Amino acid sequence: MSEPMAQSPPPVAPGGTAGTATRNPRYARPALSQLGLSPGKRARLKRLLYDYGPGGGTLLVLPIDQGLEHGPVDFFANPASLDPAYQYELAKEGHFSGIALHIGLAEKYFHQYAGEVPLILKLNGKTSIPSDAQSFSALTGTVEDAVRLGADAVGYTLYVGSPAQDRDFDQFTRIRDEANRFGMPIIVWAYPRGEAVAKKGGKESLYAIDYSARVALEMGADIVKINYPVPSDKDKDSPPPYNTLQLSHFEMFRKVVESAGRALVLVSGGEKVDDTDLIDKVRSSMDAGATGIIFGRNLWQRPKAEALRLTRDLHAIFRGYAQPLA
């Protein structure tokens, strides 16, 4: 593994109080100049990383693609969140780097926030009604749609290990070529899925997530969105040497970041957790070299005042991880 930088500043607990927890080593993120970007991609990523949100080369993204992926069930925890204007207002007032959503929510709502909240247009998706055995997300939009709407990036879900991954790779290749032509950055939601993955440690295993991060890099992602690996008894079913690795949670995630190479890493939030666990996850991820977080339910399932208070804490944390534009 690469050598760590100097240790990061002490953790900020919810409410902005410095904590006393033992610190992880801290690793640098790739600079924009290292990513081989076209001028169009560099200009758009520079806006996301430095001109909006916490800045300093970090990303704080609010996703609201769950309505398609999960249905309305996620909005019961906070009924106000059923109205997409709730998330748009949260992204605007909370000074997020961007909001990620599907074309319908962009066409019907984004015109009110254009120029104030950067748009990340999600280009494919599926419902949760079929099983994950043959996971595949069909296209719901195009890169041309993203350009027309004023997006600064597009998102694509890639199901690594699914029996449908040959179709997925082919579909992604077409999107990647279109994005390169228009100078549009691509964020890959890299998710391991399928029966073969389940038999080799499961979708939350280090093996599956590490492999997915590398696949996203190999396929041409500019940014990869990944979940945090979760150790379990099923790890013994992972291929060698993963089945015998003895790594801490931090070391596992650092391994994933290294496998992503010069694709920037966004950490997925998943289901809502308490403030302490959320802050710990953010700090550990950033220490390991992540560029930022993409947290949806952990923020918009809360009342707005609480969500904005937590967002201010996240901004304070990210300030400690700022890197100059290079």
Hey, how many other C-beta atoms are within 10 angstroms of the C-beta on 59?
Answer: 28
Does the annotation count 41 as an active-site position?
A: no
Q: State how far the Cα of 321 lies from the Cα of 311, in Å rounded to an integer.
A: 16
Q: Are 132 and 61 in contact (CB under 8 A)?
A: no
Question: Are 311 and 282 a contacting pair, CB within 8 Å?
Answer: no
132: left (phi over 0), alpha (psi -120 to 50) or beta: alpha
| Beta pairing class for 12-13 and 292-294 | unpaired
Name the active-site residue from 191, 207, 242, 321: 191
Provide the 3-class DSSP secondary structure of residue 26.
Answer: strand
210 in Cβ contact with 253 (< 8 Å): no
Note if 191 is an active site residue.
yes
Q: How far lies 50's CA from each of 299, 303, 323, in Å?
A: 22, 28, 10
> Which one from 225, 255, 281, 304 is the annotated catalytic residue?
225
> Are 161 and 194 a contacting pair, CB within 8 Å?
yes
Q: Which residues are catalytic?
A: 191, 225
